[in-house]
Chains A and B, each alone.
Chain A
Amino acid sequence: MNPRYLRLGVLWLLLLTVPWWLPYVGGYTQLGTRVLVYALAAMGLNLLLGFTGGLSFGHAAYYGLGAYGVGLTLKYLAPSTPLALVIGTLVGGVAATLLGPTLMRRRGVYFAMITLAFGQLFYFIVVRWNNVTGGEDGLTGFQRQPLHFGGYVLPLHDVTFYYLVLFCFAIATAVMGIILRSPLGHTWVAIRENRRRAQFLGIPVERYVWASFAVSGFVTALAGGLNAMLNNFTSPLDLYWVLSGDFVIIAVLGGMRSFWGPLLGAIIYLVAQDYLSSITDNWQSFIGVIFILVVLLFPRGMLGMLRAKARSA
Chain B
Amino acid sequence: MELLLYDAFNGLIVGMFYALMALGLSMILTLNSVVNMAHGGFLILGAYLAFTLEPYLGFWGALVAGPIVAMIFGLIVERILIRPIYKRDDPVYSLLLTFGLALIMQDLARTIWGPAGLPFAIPDSLNSSLSSSFFFLTGYRAVVVVIAFFTVVTLMLVMRYTRIGIRIRAGIRDLDTVSGLGVNIYVLRALNFAGGCFLAGLAGVLAAGQLGLTPTMGASLIMPSFVAIIVGGVGSFLGSVLGGLLIGVAAGIMTTYYPAASDAVIYGIMALVLIVRPRGLMGQEGMFE
A and B touch in the complex (CB under 8 A): yes
Contact surface of A with B, Cβ cutoff 8 Å: 49, 55, 57, 102, 105-114, 116-118, 120-121, 124-125, 128, 241-242, 245, 248-249, 252, 256, 281-282, 284-285, 287-292, 294-296, 299
Contact between chains at B267 and A107 (CB < 8 Å): no
Contacts of B268 in A (CB 8 A): 121
Report the bound CA distance from A238 to B101 in whole Å.
21
Q: Which of B32-59 contact A (CB under 8 A)?
A: 33-35, 37
Q: Is B102 an interface residue (CB 8 A)?
A: yes
Please state if A290 and B100 are interface contacts (CB–CB under 8 Å).
yes
Chain B residues with Cβ under 8 A from A113's Cβ? Answer: 29, 35, 226, 229-230
Cα distance, A241 to B91, chains bound together (Å): 17
Q: Contact check: which of A109, A114, A128 meets B274 at CB < 8 Å?
A: A114
Report yes or no: B95 in contact with A57, Cβ–Cβ below 8 A. yes
The answer to whether A109 touches B223 (Cβ under 8 A) is no
B95 near A55 (CB under 8 angstroms)?
yes
- Chain B residue total in the interface (Cβ 8 A): 47
Where chain A touches its partner, the secondary structure class is helix
> Given A109-B34, A121-B264, are A288 and B91 neighbors across the interface (CB < 8 Å)?
no
A282 near B91 (CB under 8 angstroms)?
A: no
Kindly supply a per-residue 1/0 record for chain B positions 219-232, scoring 1 wherever the CB is within 8 Å of any chain A CB and 0 otherwise: 00001001101100
Question: Most chain-A CB neighbours within 10 Å: which of B93, B95, B268?
Answer: B95
Residues of B participating in the A interface, judged by any CB pair closer than 8 Å: 29, 33-35, 37, 81, 84-85, 88, 90-97, 99-104, 106-108, 111, 223, 226-227, 229-230, 234, 260-261, 263-264, 267-268, 270-271, 274-275, 278, 287-289
Q: Bound complex: CA of A109 vs CA of B230, how far in Å?
A: 12
Contact: A291 with B97, CB < 8 Å? yes
Closest 6 pairs between A and B when the two form their complex, measured CB to CB = A291-B100, A288-B103, A121-B267, A110-B288, A288-B104, A288-B100
Judge whether B96 and A284 touch: CB under 8 Å: no
B108 partner residues in chain A, CB cutoff 8 A: 282, 285
